[in-house]
Copies of this chain bind each other. A is one copy, B any other.
Amino acid sequence: MTQKAGKSLKEKVALRNRLLKEALAELLGTFILIALGCSCVAQTVLSRGVLGGALTISVGFAMAVTLAIYVAGGVSGGHINPAVSFAMCLTGKMKWVKFPIYVLAQFLGAFLGAAVVFGINYDALIFYTDGNFTVGGANPTAHIFATYPQEYLSLTNGFADQMLSTAFLILGVFAIFDTDNLGVPKGLEPIAVGLLIILLTCSMGLNSGCAMNPARDLSPRLFTYLLGWGPEVFTAGNSWWWVPIAGPMVGAALGAATYMLFIGVHHFPPSPCQKTDALHEHELTHLEEGK
């Protein structure tokens, strides 16, 4: 904003260009997330567990997030998740005007990613299902793309699951990018977020597969609806489909609020030193107090 006041048109064009760039980055990032993340599920399901399992899905999906953030992060911040964008807007870290553009790009990217999962695994899908794409039955494949709840799961418990797992996700993301806290070294945040995803999928994956991301879940679900899995993808699990959309958005607000209340508002006014040396200064203080 070093531009002069009279150049408002130029500013508008620059802003539109910038927003376009960010939308492209979000689109590519979410595309990578789904194309590679859901392919980890495909590899496990279609090899009947020979070439994958709970851990390769957990680690693979996490590294898909890491890669997506490395690719998109320098341009758009690498949200690749409407719930993350929502939390950023809620806490004033992103302008609300950008929110619909980001979310649209994320849903579009996720849809294209699902197409890659389908294309790359087309022969395997036909071989595994005999061309009969289903949500349930002997050779179900819909859960390669979207998440479905365990049979025992009530919608109440399911909503709490999606809300709380996303709250922990946002809590972790805020801590990782909070330079007034311990602070992950610059350029390593995507790996720290990946480790966070490993944690969440190992701990919160039981009930419904830990979507925590409306774009990650709805776009591939829509893709399967259109490509032959039929309306059951929306009716299954007592019409489960809306839970991984609504739950994460509420969870995003909860997670952001929790971090702000417990940690964020308590930061001391940052001095040049404190800003970058929070831990060690803290320990130094402890040492001094101990004398």
Q: Residues of A at under 8 Å CB distance from B? A: 1, 21, 24-25, 27-28, 32, 35-37, 39-40, 42-43, 46-47, 50-60, 63-64, 66-67, 69-78, 88, 92-95, 116, 119-124, 126-127, 150, 152-154, 157, 160-161, 164, 168, 171-172, 175-192, 194-196, 198-200, 202-207, 258-259, 262-263, 266-267, 272-273, 275-291
Query: Which of A285, A290, A291 has the most chain B CB atoms inside 10 A of its CB?
Result: A290
Option from B153, B192, B286 in Cβ contact (under 8 Å) with A93? B286
Cβ–Cβ contact B192 & A60, under 8 A: no
**Beta-carbon nearest neighbor of A117 in chain B:** B203
Cβ–Cβ contact B275 & A276, under 8 A: no
Known: A55-B55, A70-B175, A186-B183. A43 touches B206 (CB 8 A): yes
28 A/B residue pairs, CB under 8 Å, sorted by A: A28-B263, A32-B168, A35-B168, A40-B202, A43-B203, A51-B206, A53-B55, A59-B198, A59-B202, A67-B175, A70-B176, A71-B175, A73-B278, A74-B182, A74-B279, A75-B267, A95-B290, A123-B150, A123-B154, A179-B280, A183-B279, A184-B187, A185-B279, A186-B277, A188-B188, A275-B290, A276-B281, A280-B283
**Across chains A and B, which 3 residue pairs bring their CB atoms closest together, nearest first?**
A74-B181, A60-B202, A276-B282
What residues of B have a CB within 8 angstroms of the CB of A92 in the complex? 287, 290-291
What residues of B have a CB within 8 angstroms of the CB of A202 in the complex? 40, 43, 52, 56-57, 59-60, 63
Give bound CA distance, A205 to B50, whole Å. Answer: 11
Q: How many chain copies does the complex carry?
A: 4
Shortest distance between the CB of A279 and any CB in chain B (Å): 6
What residues of B have a CB within 8 angstroms of the CB of A71 in the complex? 171-172, 175, 181, 259, 263
What residues of B have a CB within 8 angstroms of the CB of A153 in the complex? 123-124
**Beta-carbon nearest neighbor of A177 in chain B:** B283
Shortest distance between the CB of A281 and any CB in chain B (Å): 8
Give bound CA distance, A92 to B258, whole Å. Answer: 32
What residues of B have a CB within 8 angstroms of the CB of A276 in the complex? 186, 278-279, 281-283, 287, 290
**Beta-carbon nearest neighbor of A27 in chain B:** B262
Cβ–Cβ contact B73 & A279, under 8 A: yes
Shortest distance between the CB of A150 and any CB in chain B (Å): 7
Option from B63, B94, B200, B278 in Cβ contact (under 8 Å) with A286? B94
What residues of B have a CB within 8 angstroms of the CB of A205 in the complex? 43, 51
Cβ–Cβ contact A150 & B164, under 8 A: no
Cβ–Cβ contact B278 & A275, under 8 A: yes
Option from B24, B161, B182, B199 in Cβ contact (under 8 Å) with A262? B24
Give bound CA distance, A202 to B215, whole Å. Answer: 22
**Beta-carbon nearest neighbor of A37 in chain B:** B203
